[in-house]
Structures are given as structure tokens and as C-alpha cells.
Copies of this chain bind each other. A is one copy, B any other.
Amino acid sequence: MASTLSQRILSERTLSMRRNQIREILKVVSQPGMISLAGGIPAPESFPIEDLYRINEAVLDRFGAAALQYDLTEGFRPFREALVGYLNAKDIVVSANEILIFNGSQSVLDTLGKVLITPGDAIALETPSYLGAISAFSAYEPTYVSIDTDDEGILPESLDATLASQQVKFIYLVTTFQNPTGRTLSEVRRRQVAEIVKRRGALVIEDDPYSDLRYRGKAVPSLYTYAPENTVYVSTLSKVFAPGLRLGFCLAPPLIHEWLYTAKQGADLHSNTYAQALATEYICGGYINRQLPKIIDLYRPRLEAMLDALARHLPADYGWTEPDGGMFIWVEAPAGVDAEDLYWRAVEQKVAFVPGKYFYIQPEDGLPTMRLNFTRADEATIEHAIAALSRIIRDCK
């Protein structure tokens, strides 16, 4: 018999996985001289590197061996206690026992998929939706249904009609400064969505990685605050500390909390203790309160520079979102334009973005859309990139 392994070694679920195509596209983007508006990556100058010399010392002084040892599946206790205060400042009132720590919010989404999705279950998504969530859930073989949206996020009547007509395991939403559109679900809509999910006994997964990155306008309470018994609240320190530390967390109704804990215990025992200790010190040492305004001051002019450049350069039949925060602007070209074609022409001119079709479930949707990131490049570079992109667009007309 043959010694080599055949395809039948793989599980059936493996065949339903697909590579995260944004990350595949990012491989081209790493070419020298490329201006990337593609990733969802913080600017390296947003990281508190100088502070980390002191934070590291404080962690070793304060926690010693405990920062290096096996720890609780639910997360390092001092970190969960620090997050209580951090969440309180967002009007989310919880105790440390209600918080579960994961390896970035991506691993919350994966574990939710594991705990909640039986193959064939329907999941409701806003359109377009965060690609990483689709990658995480798809490994558990769900089907997807789309909820209609407009500039204020999902349409409550579309959600209600969907929940009335079929069994939906959960609704997945990025409620504030959404990836990929930059849209924020309005406060009125949040109340309506909360009322609907409570009335129907439905579950929402509220993914909230960006709400701290608000450059203008007034904060909106999280959907979780309106329907805590029907919401899993998911967030991360990736955008306000450092993504390389992989620090995500969630709040979940007790039944789901219990099984997320059990699933995580089997999947990785617990998250990185040392990274959690660094984050504890980052929050409790007051570093975050000094760093977050710096990050906002870094990104606000970049958002403004991109909005300004789009208004000056793009043809009149192009539209785009005008977010108050986050990392992305969503551009819609007129019907008939293929943004992937523009992408390859732009890459030749050393400008990269993400064609918007990757954020749709149906392969024929979103062809004329683009996601532009404004946090990685400085204002002059953004002006240069949008001018170059506009020349390509006009050349193709």
C-alpha cells in the first residue's frame, strides 16, 4: 500500500473552508513602494513602544512568575478586572466574572461558531459584511441569509421579516464604524433591533472593534446595553493597544458563556498570560488614557484628508461613506464598473485597496465597490494615492 496520505485524510468541514482572500491580496501589497489602502492594519506609529519598556518592567515587578504561568481559561483575573473599568467608561456595566478573554476577537468568532453552529444552520449577515467573520463561521458549515442595509446600517423591517420567515441561529453585526463600510448603526435603529431580537428570542453577535476610534460626533451606546440577554458583545484591544498581542474578549448570556469557556478549555487551555499582564498595566497604569487621544489625533487628519481627496478627485457619479471613525471608507462606483479590474490597474501604479466584492456572500454582488483604509498612510500619501486612483478611474471611462 502507498505511504502517502490521500485527500480523504481531511474532514468534510475542511472542504467548506476557504482562504481569507483579503490576506491573499495583501501578499501583492507588500511589494516595495506600494501605497496600501488595502489592509485593516493600525499605523505602526500608533503603538506605545516607548511606554512598553516601562510596562514590561512593571509586569515583571508586579506579577513575576504569575505572568508566565498556566492560568485560568476565562482569562487573567487582573486583566478582566481592568476591563471592567474600561467597559464601564462605555456604559457597559459588568463584573470581571462575566468577561471571557480570547486570542483576538477573531478567536471569539471562531469559538462562537464552534459552540453555536450545527452544519446547515442559517446565520444572518448585514450586506456587505466583515470577511474574517465569514471565514471563522464557514468552518462550521452554516448557510447565510442577507439583511438589507442603508447608510444607517441594517433595516429593522428586513431583520424582523427574516426572523419571522425562518430559523436563524444568530445575527452578526459590526455596529460601529463597520468593516468594510465605515457605517454606524444609528441609536434609533439599535433600539429597534434590540426590541426585535428580544421579542423573537433571537441572538445577536455585536462585534465592536472600532468604537474607541471616534474622530468626530457623539458616541452611540452599544447594542449590548439595550439587549444584554440577547447579545454577545465582542471586542478587542487590537486597535487601542497592539494587534500583535491578540487580546480579544466577549460578554455573553450565561448559557453561551459557559459553553464558550468549555470550548476554549479544549481548544487552547487559556490565552497568553503575559500579553494579558501587559494589557493590565497598559490600562491600570493610565497609559491607555494618554495613548488613545494620540491615536485619534493621528487618524483624524487621515480620515479628513481622504474624504477631502475623494471629493476633489473622484468623478461625480461615484459615491462614498463619510464615517465619524474607524479605519475604512466605502466607495461605490456606477453599475458596470468592475473594481477588481481597477484594483489590478491601481497595483501597477503602486496603489492598493480591497475590491468590495469580497465582503459579499453572493459572488455576483458588490462588483463596483471598494474598501479604502485611511489609517496606515499619512495625509500626503493619501492625497497622492486618491489622485492616482482617480486618474486610473477616469482613464477607464
> A213 to chain B: which residues have CB within 8 Å?
none
Write the nearest CB–CB distance from A36 to chain B, whole angstroms: 12
Nearest B residue (CB) for A266: B135
Indicate if the CB atoms of A114 and B139 lie closer than 8 Å. Answer: yes
Is A371 an interface residue, CB under 8 A from the partner?
no
A13 contacts across to B, CB distance below 8 A: 114, 118
A368 contacts the other chain (Cβ, under 8 Å)?
A: no
Would you call A198 and B3 a contact (CB within 8 A)?
yes
Chain B nearest Cβ from A119, distance in angstroms: 8
Question: Which residue on chain B has the smallest CB distance to residue A20?
Answer: B265
Evaluate contact between A5 and B272: CB separation under 8 angstroms: no
Contact A10 B103 (CB under 8 A): no
A89 at the interface (CB under 8 A from B): no
Q: Which residues of B contact A65 (CB under 8 A)?
A: 44-45, 47, 49
Contact A139 B68 (CB under 8 A): no
Which chain B residues lie closer than 8 Å to A3 at the CB level? 198-199, 201, 227, 229-230
CA gap between A25 and B52 in the complex, in Å: 37
Q: How far is the CA of A255 from the CA of B246 in the complex (A)?
A: 27
Contact mask A43-73 → B, CB, 8 Å, 1/0?
0110101001100110010001111111101
> CB-CB < 8 A to A270: which residues of B?
246
Enumerate chain B residues within 8 angstroms of A273, measured Cβ to Cβ: 244-246
Cβ-based interface call for A309 (8 A): no
Q: Which chain B residue lies CB-closest to A50?
A: B60
Within 8 A of B (CB), among A263-287: 263, 265-275, 278
In-complex Cβ contact of A274 among B12, B70, B245 (8 A)? B245
User: 1/0 per residue A1-31: CB within 8 Å of B?
Assistant: 1111111011111100111100100000000
Contacts of A138 in B (CB 8 A): 266
Interface residues on A, range: 35 or more
The answer to whether A243 touches B68 (Cβ under 8 A) is yes
Chain B residue nearest to A197 (CB atoms) is: B3
Please state if B268 and A110 are interface contacts (CB–CB under 8 Å): yes
A334 at the interface (CB under 8 A from B): no
**Residue contact B53 to A70, C-beta cutoff 8 Å:** no
Does any Cβ of B come within 8 Å of A327's Cβ? no
Interface residues of A in 105-129 (CB under 8 A from B): 106-107, 110, 114-118, 121
Q: Which residue of B lies closest to A202 (CB)?
A: B5
CB of A319 closer than 8 Å to a CB of B? no
Interface centre among A9, A57, A68, A263 (most CB of B within 10 A): A68
B11 touches A242 (CB 8 A): no
Chain B residue at minimum C-beta to C-beta distance from A138: B266
- Give Cα A6 to B238, complex, Å: 33
Q: Which of A86-106 contact B (CB under 8 A)?
A: 103-104, 106
Q: Is A295 an interface residue (CB 8 A)?
A: no
- Whether A42 sits at the interface, judged by CB under 8 Å, is yes
Residues of B near A267 (CB, < 8 A) are 106-107, 110, 136, 139
Given contacts A3-B230, A53-B57, A255-B7, contact A266 B17 (CB under 8 A): yes
Contacts of A107 in B (CB 8 A): 267-268
A162 shortest CB reach to chain B, Å: 15
Known: A13-B118, A118-B11, A139-B263. A68 touches B242 (CB 8 A): yes
What are some 23 contacts across the A-B interface (CB < 8 A)? A1-B200, A3-B199, A3-B229, A5-B229, A7-B255, A9-B170, A11-B121, A12-B118, A14-B116, A14-B263, A44-B66, A45-B65, A49-B65, A70-B243, A103-B268, A103-B272, A106-B266, A110-B266, A135-B265, A138-B266, A139-B266, A244-B274, A246-B271
